[in-house]
Amino acid sequence: MITTSKGEIVCELDAKAAPLSVTNFKYLADGGFYNGLTFHRVVAGFVVQGGDPTATGSGGPGYTIPAEIGLAHVKGALAWARTGDDVNPERRSSGSQFYITLDATPFLDGQYSVFGRTISGQDIVDKIQRGDVIESIKVTVE
């Protein structure tokens, strides 16, 4: 569950399709990495993005993770941001910056690692504005 200053977003993570991504997200969440960070990028009709401790779009935990490309960018997809192909031809994912899609974005399929999807709280995702706070993220196994 992603608790934000606007409300709660519940995502279902897909550990079969993206085991490294899910493990990394849980590791950071369990350690409190995301607590107090903001959504630093919001593009209407496209994505809300957070997870950068510098709030500039260039920060992270000091590492990247291998690409696990395969799941589709449905509305509410939870995926890793990454640097461009020119400097990142392996399409390695950001170690901490994630985004949630505001609509289906099939043009991103095959380029970014989707590791989950919003199952409740898409109305909250739709209300997120730049600077809104990620109060905490809690990953539970069900």
Is the pLDDT reported for residue 3 higher than 90?
yes
In a domain, 118, yes or no: yes
Tell me, what's the pLDDT at 54? 96
What b/e readout covers 21-47, taking b as 16+ CB neighbours within 10 angstroms? bbebbbebbeeebbeebbbbbbeeeeb
Kindly indicate the confidence band of residue 15, based on its pLDDT and cuts at 50, 70 and 90: very high
The pLDDT tens digits for 28-79 are: 999 999 999 999 999 999 999 999 999 999 999 999 999 999 999 999 999 9
Quote the domain boundaries for residue 81. Answer: 2-137
The pLDDT tens digits for 96-124 are: 999 999 999 999 999 999 999 999 999 99
In a domain, 87, yes or no: yes
Proportion of the chain in helix, strand, coil states, percent, rounded to 5: 15, 30, 55
Q: What is the CATH number of the domain that holds 79?
A: 2.40.100.10
Q: What is the mean pLDDT of the chain?
A: 96
Number of structural domains in the chain:
1
Is the pLDDT reported for residue 80 higher than 90?
yes
In the DSSP assignment, the letter for residue 129 is -
CB 36 within 8 A of CB 42: no
Alpha-helical segments (H) within 1-142: 19-30, 122-127
In a domain, 142, yes or no: no
What is the pairing mode between strands 2-4 and 7-13?
antiparallel
In a domain, 111, yes or no: yes
In a domain, 57, yes or no: yes
**For a pLDDT cut of 70, what percent of the chain falls above it?**
99
